[in-house]
Structure 1
């Protein structure tokens, strides 16, 4: 017999026929007993709560129990125990009991990393629900029923979240998005479905939408509960912000020398990869496995991804390294232990992607690599894998290809080729060369390292040193100590041959993340160009495009030597100070004709700047950290990525406890601005805004002259809707007569908006033209583009669409040349607005491209503007449902506190009002018009002026003013 309380109370025999239970009172009585089968329910509670019409007498209760006993029979006895009754049925015979068991097993399967089983169990559990729990007790007023219902509904919600989590792990993110949107709409303050929706949107390529979901939740939590998102949700948001906006698989490293003696191996490997999905190149360290894998990649058809595993220190880092090589975030978007693992993300990414995946140097993470490859090959039918390792992976389907040392003739050719490259005209005795090659077991890497020493040694001297250093250990390694055949041993051998000044320079060079120019390396390493050149000659450094670079395996070894041999903080401080000087020099170029060069320098130094910032926060060195942030801020805003340093900025503010060091007031204010761009930006901003304002006033008020005039523009933008706009405006506009020409141009730009806010468009446009000319005279492409965009908006507002398009085209040429993708997206939306009435096809193309750029850069505001534009086109075409959908998506993405979102918000609300008018819903139309007018009213500016400034078409202006 089966009992149902997840919906109406029902009883069915094993053959499926339903038993007649009678009226509401009897169903309610049975439901109360089944809520906890086997437990006694007091008779007075049953009498009071089982009858919707009111409490019943003891005699009436006995009568109802007697009738139930008759219907149920001996299969489900109702027993009198003490002062109450209980029903004796198996827990699993009640659908609520089965649900709890299945939900518990499903969660356990999820925790055991078995999402397929978890999904099946949880789908079955949720399928038991036929309506609200204990529906027959809904009107009884029963406290017992209310408590049981709340508990069951909470379990149902948790099971639904677990099932959606399982679906995401199985790659079903696209189908889960609508359900998650509905779930977060019903429970806006519940963080787990929010995190699941963010992960699903991110997996679907909608990074900007995922960021917008976080922002909406953050506002809900602040408004309703007065709290910030949990650390787990904030960490998830930060990981999403740090994702590479343009995922691309890492290519194999370019080779600077010709391959010697491996032609037949390359051909064999190419043929093997065409018929096998997993091939492992085995052999000792330095035998040439990596080089052979790189050559195989060059001969392969289709996409190739190369992953270097040698720098990894833990097994758990293997899937994260693959994600990084595929151009994705190194950490999965997760919430604690319940989130999808990096391996699960890899399955999602590679499930339908034809790819040759090369995993280089697997031996020290062999078990983890083998387990991951097994899983990926099973789940991703178009994937092929080539690994290099000193030993086999040992999994089914693996084809081994042993890579052996070169034969003697090939080894001699390789040694001679590399030796004559460093010492032209060298005529070594053939017997000596063969003896050298034999001493090194014909290992290619060892041969190349040894050959590089011939720049300063004769072959006979080198042969004697090899005999002294390796002796029988190298030649007897086949039966003795195998460590002399590892890559680390080869590096250690080469390292020990270095004189101490070269060792010191090499270990200090390990602090560079992306390599260095000769002057930078000489400064940080405390060495001279000859020493660096000698290290390059000995293959400890590589040179390309005027920069030195250290192979990651060598860099890891050198880093160990640095930590062991000297105070590494001193070297890292020198590294940070060098990149501070570089950033300051490049920052000054950003406000002039050398802007492209300055931006290129800062972009190339980005990874080292982040490493230096990380060290300043860990050391701690807050003064250096503030200076680094200030010097890099302008370039980060041009590139649209200020959030990538928000975490470091916030940590520095915590170290300083909100008080700037002496002489670093301006840098402190910039640190606050950058911290405010991160996931916890709003509370950070309000906690430090007043002190930052005082710091900027101290530097720029009166005849003051700061070091970072870009802070003035950023300060006005940040304060426009979420601060003290009048104070910020006064501070910046006062620079019109200052000594800094770039600050004067910014002052004219800001003054124009003040004039527009006072309904004086002629004065505003004049100020914008003055600012544009000032930026042009300085050679500042970014400032010129921003100003041209505003002038184009004014031209569009007065109906001169041709001029508006021409001005926007000029601005686009500037931002595209800078690589300022977020600004380019904004400009494309502006051009689409100017073209919408006359060339809707061209407008649609601009909106669509803007949306793509916004998604790539993770810009919710840019995506919202594009969605709003597409909504306008749909409305013009009579597609009201599509228009409404686009407008609402735009509003969901927007942050009302950000000044550059005002135009999109006003337009989207006006569009919704037009949709309501078309449908004859005047009340809704009035509501949206009123909201649009409120959104347009920025402090100190009338709605009409702001709208005109933003280039709203006249019909929309009239619409916002409303009926």
Structure 2
């Protein structure tokens, strides 16, 4: 018989049938006996617990026991023992005892590192619960104590089960449960710690830190206690963890690596002493594969001097102009932040800032077509980033000082035969051939890995002897000695051509058309652009002309170059290129509305996978004067480019396109024209040419955009509208910008309506109406949130936090900034997260200097990784404030001076950090008794504040500066006038 007291008191026979126990007195009696099966419970206690009101007598108790014995039959024995009773049952037949046994075993398995077994045991234990423990016992101190003990064990088992799930990577399945549990047990530190770990594992570092802050405050307010050492250690661990997107890993390989273990060890050893190693050799000799294996070995070596590894594929680049952007993208760095202004540094400077202190092995693959640009950039990075190492692959050396060359040679004889055999067996089960014959085949192919793989793929339909004969005819060889790299390349080209010639006509057509894809393609895109079907694509994979991994088809660069030549020879380049560009347009146009809604995190990587093809399509459209197509590509990709921080990659095409069309707006393309002007002006890669284009085309674009968004009907590209309003509100035409804002506050397009409210808030601030500004920012937040847009929501939350701080509500400011940090973390926006951390530090500084210091320090780390000089300056200024507050004048002055050097005085986002830094330097001078120097710094700060178009006092108070500091600055400046 089985018994249950974890919920209603119940009993079941061996066949599963339930035993009728009778009324509440008998159920309570059975529950009391089952709490400790086999132990004697005194009659007095049973009487007291079963009926606390005192109506149950000893005689009545004896009667209830007799009836309970009858109900249970032979399933259990209730014995009289001295002055009480006990029930003789196997403890494992009682659900509470079985629960305790399973939970204990699960906890032991967890402690022993077996999370899988622990999870199974704990789930089994918790499934025994049907409701509150001892639910049918009358209320008494003894009943409450027994129930509380079981409920505590239950909660502990839940915590153990969740920890086991987290160890197994199941954080997504427990976050919601943990939130609910933390809500019910707000002072339970282990639950808070588990929620912090689950959130961080799911990519929510900022939200995890919010959880710590909440429990820290509750412990202090309700218990007057600090977090435990364990929870405090977890908090420090989260603060030091890096939420940044990981650098691009080496591409996954689908085949075994044959015959190069010695070279891997040689190159890895060389990288321990050399900072630039270049693998050289002809196409198809295996440079890329060797670099992938070296990079993988370095990444796996925890003791490796190279530290992290970033793999950059340069083959998709058309020219060297996009090289810095390619590196930024591979490093996971955005090229501009959410603040949408033109203060971003040049991409090369951002790379230097990001890599200056980082231990990194940077692998640059396929450098030969941009070798001059790679050489210049590598030289500059190595000169300015002392912990950086570079591994390059190229058909020729980079030719810079410090370069160590490793000539990648063909495989040795045995390795070549082994490679042929393995690849042949992959397409033909049980493949065997005479080793001498295979050696002759490989020798004819100069032992080049790519040539061997292409030839081995033919083993599916050709015997080894037939294959050898065809190769002899093709290459005109019987035997040969060592040959030069150029001759080997001709051999490879001949084998590629031979493999190509053996394709059917539909396969050849699909393969040469596929050569237009710069970054590979999905099956649907490949079939559409190449005019083929899935079976043909699979056949090309079987024959080693295409590779398939990660849901995308790719073509090796050597084969792609050959296919491109045949595409030209067939006279198809223009039509296929046009089809390719239109397919890219279709993809980005489909994604655009999703990027402004809740599904943006799903769609951003979809578009990012097409980035190389987007740039290639833009380049072709501009180069071939397909102006309408080029404008549409730029505008449809605008949201992606800005949220992703990749606008600089499109700036050269935008600038060239404006130069081609002049100042006449193409009919029906007004918004596209404005998008083009913004890209040319806002992306730092466009340089002076982009700024010149902006000045020439701004007026025409403004007129076209106003016509596209008249107010009574929406336009097509609301993010273009937002960027236009922001740039002009802080620039040459604030009246026109705010007129456009006013016309959109009741726009039918919800995202544009929210954007208009957002921009109008800045106008209210300029008018000295902080309450109106806060209302406008709140309306913007509601609009963005209703759409699920994290990007817009982060913008609005940041401004609302600033408004709250300005009116003295620092707690509200911190909470709003925490929300924004969660969103920027999800978007992978390092620069914006750094900005928000500085803001949160400012909000916290008046209450908790230690927390503020942690925010500033973390912001400095992220700003350095993002290569953002402005946000690094802001973080240094914050650390200077902390040092000043602690009386360390020398450290404060050093930090302020470094911050001032890094601040761009011409960027609107830099105004606050610059004012605070100047005032900080003035306060340091004041503390040292240097009155004249202090007055000079305060005067500089007041003059900068006056330039905002409102009073200096209002600007200083909007920054949330202490009132005494504002008074000091203003009184000093007033006395000087």
TM-score (norm 1): 0.61
User: 1:940 offset after TM fit, Å?
Assistant: 6.3
- Does residue 935 of the first structure (1) align with residue 962 of the second (2)? no
**1:292-307 correspondence runs (5 A):** 302=304, 303=306
**1:884-899 correspondence runs (5 A):** 884-899=893-908
* 1:900-920, Cα deviation, whole Å (9 max, x unpaired): 233223323333443444455
Which of 417, 426, 431 pairs up with 2:425? 417
Q: Could you tell me whether the CA contact under 8 Å between 1:308 and 1:359 is conserved in 2?
A: no
- Distance change (3 Å), C-alpha of 1:404 and 1:959: farther
User: 1:592 offset after TM fit, Å?
Assistant: 0.6
**1:735-884 correspondence runs (5 A):** 735-884=744-893
SS for the counterpart of 2:408 is strand
SS for the counterpart of 2:553 is strand
- Distance change (3 Å), C-alpha of 1:463 and 1:307: farther
- Distance change (3 Å), C-alpha of 1:656 and 1:783: same
Give distance in 1, aligned partners of 2:726 and 2:385.
42
Q: Give the match for residue 389 of structure 1.
A: 409
Query: For structure 1, which segment, 771-780 or 502-511, has the greater mean C-alpha deviation from structure 2 after superposition?
Result: 502-511
SS for the counterpart of 1:745 is helix
Give distance in 2, aligned partners of 1:646 and 1:311.
17
- Distance change (3 Å), C-alpha of 1:706 and 1:942: farther
**1:106-121 correspondence runs (5 A):** none
Q: Give the match for residue 568 of structure 2.
A: 563
* 1:829-853, Cα deviation, whole Å (9 max, x unpaired): 1011112222323323322332333
- Distance change (3 Å), C-alpha of 1:630 and 1:885: farther
Q: Could you tell me whether the CA contact under 8 Å between 1:796 and 1:834 is conserved in 2?
A: yes
Give distance in 2, aligned partners of 1:312 and 1:896.
34
- Distance change (3 Å), C-alpha of 1:752 and 1:269: closer
Which of 403, 423, 433 pairs up with 1:376? 403
* 1:296-324, Cα deviation, whole Å (9 max, x unpaired): 66557523788999999999x99999999
- Distance change (3 Å), C-alpha of 1:694 and 1:947: farther
Q: Could you tell me whether the CA contact under 8 Å between 1:305 and 1:326 is conserved in 2?
A: yes
- Distance change (3 Å), C-alpha of 1:710 and 1:321: closer
**1:656-735 correspondence runs (5 A):** 656-677=661-682, 678=684, 679-680=687-688, 682-735=691-744
Which of 261, 280, 288 pairs up with 1:266? 261
Q: Give the match for residue 114 of structure 1.
A: none
Q: Could you tell me whether the CA contact under 8 Å between 1:822 and 1:859 is conserved in 2?
A: yes
- Does residue 478 of the first structure (1) align with residue 480 of the second (2)? yes
* 1:27-80, Cα deviation, whole Å (9 max, x unpaired): xxxxxxxxxxxxxxxxxxxxxxxxxxxxxxxxxxxxxxxxxxxxxxxxxxxxxx
Q: Give the match for residue 393 of structure 1.
A: none
Which of 609, 614, 622 pairs up with 1:609? 614
- Distance change (3 Å), C-alpha of 1:698 and 1:826: same
Q: Could you tell me whether the CA contact under 8 Å between 1:721 and 1:938 is conserved in 2?
A: no
Give distance in 1, aligned partners of 2:323 and 2:950.
55
**1:314-329 correspondence runs (5 A):** 327=362
SS for the counterpart of 1:543 is strand
- Distance change (3 Å), C-alpha of 1:479 and 1:643: closer
* 1:232-255, Cα deviation, whole Å (9 max, x unpaired): xxxxxxxxxxxxx99999865432
Which of 503, 525, 528 pairs up with 1:523? 528
Structure 2, unmatched stretches of 5+, are: 1-242, 331-359, 973-977
Structure 1, unmatched stretches of 5+, are: 1-244, 378-384, 391-401, 421-425
- Distance change (3 Å), C-alpha of 1:666 and 1:489: same
- Distance change (3 Å), C-alpha of 1:742 and 1:295: closer
Give distance in 1, aligned partners of 2:435 and 2:629.
53
SS for the counterpart of 1:702 is coil
Give distance in 1, aligned partners of 2:679 and 2:318.
32
Give distance in 2, aligned partners of 1:512 and 1:559.
10
SS for the counterpart of 1:389 is coil
Q: Give the match for residue 511 of structure 1.
A: 516
Q: Give the match for residue 546 of structure 1.
A: 551
- Distance change (3 Å), C-alpha of 1:877 and 1:413: same
Q: When the two structures are aligned, how many residues end up with a matched partner?
A: 675
Give distance in 2, aligned partners of 1:581 and 1:551.
26
Q: Could you tell me whether the CA contact under 8 Å between 1:247 and 1:326 is conserved in 2?
A: no
Give distance in 2, aligned partners of 1:454 and 1:463.
10
SS for the counterpart of 2:253 is coil
SS for the counterpart of 1:548 is strand
User: 1:870 offset after TM fit, Å?
Assistant: 2.6
SS for the counterpart of 1:786 is helix
User: 1:483 offset after TM fit, Å?
Assistant: 5.6
- Distance change (3 Å), C-alpha of 1:957 and 1:509: farther
Give distance in 2, aligned partners of 1:796 and 1:959.
20
User: 1:891 offset after TM fit, Å?
Assistant: 4.3
- Distance change (3 Å), C-alpha of 1:480 and 1:266: closer
Give distance in 2, aligned partners of 1:833 and 1:606.
38
- Distance change (3 Å), C-alpha of 1:522 and 1:950: farther
- Distance change (3 Å), C-alpha of 1:873 and 1:683: farther
Q: Give the match for residue 495 of structure 1.
A: 500
User: 1:626 offset after TM fit, Å?
Assistant: 2.4
Which of 641, 646, 650 pairs up with 2:651? 646
User: 1:583 offset after TM fit, Å?
Assistant: 1.8
Give distance in 2, aligned partners of 1:254 and 1:545.
9
SS for the counterpart of 1:827 is helix
Q: Give the match for residue 167 of structure 1.
A: none
Give distance in 1, aligned partners of 2:423 and 2:569.
34
TM-score (norm 2): 0.61
User: 1:288 offset after TM fit, Å?
Assistant: 6.6
**1:105-504 correspondence runs (5 A):** 253-259=251-257, 262=259, 266=261, 270=265, 302=304, 303=306, 327=362, 344-345=379-380, 348=383, 362=395, 365=396, 368=397, 375-377=402-404, 386-389=406-409, 403-406=412-415, 410=418, 413-420=421-428, 426=429, 430=432, 439=441, 441=443, 445-446=450-451, 448-453=453-458, 457=461, 459=462, 464=466, 467-468=469-470, 470-471=472-473, 473=475, 476-478=478-480, 486-504=491-509
- Distance change (3 Å), C-alpha of 1:770 and 1:448: same
Give distance in 1, aligned partners of 2:780 and 2:832.
18
* 1:331-353, Cα deviation, whole Å (9 max, x unpaired): 99xxxx99995675476479776
Q: Could you tell me whether the CA contact under 8 Å between 2:754 and 2:783 is conserved in 1?
A: yes
What's the C-alpha RMSD, in Å, of the aligned pairs? 4.6
Give distance in 2, aligned partners of 1:563 and 1:708.
36
